[in-house]
Amino acid sequence: MTVDRADATAEPPTLALLLLAFNQQASVGAAVAGALAQDYSPLTLVLSDDASDDATFDAMRRAVAGYAGPHRIVLNRNPHNLGIGAHLSRLVGLCDAELLLVAAGDDVSLPQRARRTAEAWLASGRRIDLIAAALEDIDAQGLSHGVIRPSDLSRYRNLADWLADPPHVVGAAQAWTRRLWERFGPLPAGVFGEDQVMVLRAIGSGGAVTLDEPLVRYRRGGISRRVRNLSAHDVVERLLRNNRHALVELPLMLRDARTIGQLGSVEAALNRRLARERYIERLFGAGTARERLRVVRGARDVPLPTRLRLALYAGWPELLAPWFWLKRRLAG
């Protein structure tokens, strides 16, 4: 990898690895061990528990007890649960590094992760604002199931590209510049898909790249796992959870696009998504069948087939029982 001469003689960039954990007492020790094993310096490790109900924080504290290595360690436990977006915002405030790597309490960063991230940033002349990487797909027992390769972010030049072909991203192997964070400000409470938000911000700023080398062992079954929808209840639970996050994230993306100066490229599409989410909120908040029908009739900015399908889930899920019975039979 070629590094600009000015960067080769300059001080190495400061990095921080932000490790977020919540109710992950069984896996957080391995996650912390991966952080401690990083072969790059100067590096700050911000290890934080988001007010877990189990012994996650105790496991985290034991994992760093007696550590005498080169990395600076910041140990934090939130007094109450913040959720992913607000938790990240708190951790950024606990360090002053130029590059911020995100890690989860059930994944393991490989020893070269911080170094390879810094090399990629220097190779760009410190221009790019987000560096993603491939991930090794592991199960709960740590057995490997191949490699997960996110989209090649270097081919996205602007938000029109982002909208035309939404990238596949995995936040557990991302790093961002502090300047990107400071340009747009903290992530508010309620943000769950921080990886999508930060990629949008980076594409509209200094750009982003994806390293093909796996730098994180990504554990299946974490908080981002896909849930099998084998009943109407499963669908509704997922729908409402996603709705809560979307009602925060979509207005945030619209605001960020305006900050970038590219709102016109994405405004219509994001507003259509937002109209659907606001319809879901009103529909499931209606107390009676008459109120639900009024919501259905009034949401003319949402396609009629979508309104009717969602209305079934909100008011008459029993009508879908035969379909889910068949689905369960086929799933075995």
Q: Give a yes or no: residue 186 inside a domain.
A: yes
One domain for residues 186 and 237: no
Residue 21 is predicted with a pLDDT of: 96
* Domain end position, chosen among 155, 190, 219: 219
User: In the chain, what is the straight-line distance between the N-terminal and C-terminal CA atoms, in Å?
Assistant: 50
Write out the two tokens for 73. 């360690």
What percentage of the chain reaches a pLDDT higher than 90?
82
Look at residue 224 and tell me if it is in a domain: no
Which position has the higher pLDDT, 226 or 133? Answer: 133
Q: Render 93-132 in DSSP notation, one character per residue.
A: TT---SEEEEEETT-EE-TTHHHHHHHHHHHTTS--SEEE
Same domain, yes or no, for 102 and 34? yes
Confidence of residue 220 (pLDDT cuts 50, 70, 90): confident
What mean pLDDT comes out for the span 38-44? 97
Burial (Cβ within 10 Å: 0-12, 13-18, ≥19) of residue 329:
exposed
| Beta strands 208-219; 174-177: pairing state | unpaired
Determine the pLDDT at residue 235.
85
- The reply to whether 226 falls in a domain is no
Q: Please indicate, yes or no, whether residues 56 and 126 belong to a single structural domain of this protein.
A: yes
> What per-residue confidence (pLDDT) applies to 182?
96
| pLDDT tops 60 at residue 223 | no
Residue 225 resides in a domain: no
* Cα→Cα distances 63→30, 31, 45, 200, 285, Å: 8, 9, 13, 35, 45
Say if residue 205 is in the same domain as residue 244. Answer: no
Helices (H) and strands (E) in the chain, counts: 13, 9
Which has the closest alpha carbon to 320: 329, 331, 309?
309
Domain C-terminal end among 161, 193, 219: 219
Q: Within this chain, do residues 268 and 308 fall inside the same structural domain, yes or no?
A: yes
What average pLDDT does the segment 154-173 reach? 96
Residue 117 belongs to some domain of the structure: yes
**Read out DSSP for 181-245?**
HHHH-PPPTT---HHHHHHHHHHTTT-EEEEEEEEEEEETTSTTPPPP--SHHHHHHHHHHHHHH
Q: Residue type at 76? A: N
Residue 287 domain-assigned?
yes
Please give the tally of structural domains in the chain: 2
Same domain membership, residue 240 and residue 130: no
Residues 112 and 202 in one domain: yes
One domain for residues 237 and 174:
no
Q: Are 197 and 167 in contact (CB under 8 A)?
A: no
Kindly provide the b/e burial profile for residues 90-128, where b requires at least 16 CB atoms within 10 angstroms of the residue's own CB.
bbbeebebbbbbbbbbbbbbbbebbbbbbbbbbbbebeb
Residue 29 included in any domain: yes
| Number of other CB atoms surrounding residue 233 within 10 Å | 12
Q: How many CB atoms are closer than 10 A to CB 330?
A: 8
**From CA 102, how far away is CA 7, in angstroms rounded?**
24
Q: Are residues 61 and 172 in the same domain?
A: yes
Is the pLDDT score of 167 beyond 70? yes
Q: Please state the rounded mean pLDDT for residues 297-312.
A: 95
Q: Quickly count: other Cβ atoms within 10 Å of residue 316's Cβ.
A: 12
CA angle 14, 18, 20 (to 5 degrees): 175
pTM for the model stands at 0.89
Residues 215 and 111 in one domain: yes
Of 191, 219, 247, at which residue does a domain stop?
219
Of 194, 197, 211, whose CA–CA distance to 153 is shortest?
211
Per-residue pLDDT of 90-140, as tens digits, reads 999 999 999 999 999 999 999 999 999 999 999 999 999 999 999 999 988
Whether residues 45 and 113 fall in one domain:
yes
Residue 88 structural domain: 5-219
> Is residue 195 a part of any domain in this protein?
yes
Q: Which CATH number belongs to the domain containing residue 150 in this structure?
A: 3.90.550.10
Q: Are residues 215 and 83 in the same domain?
A: yes
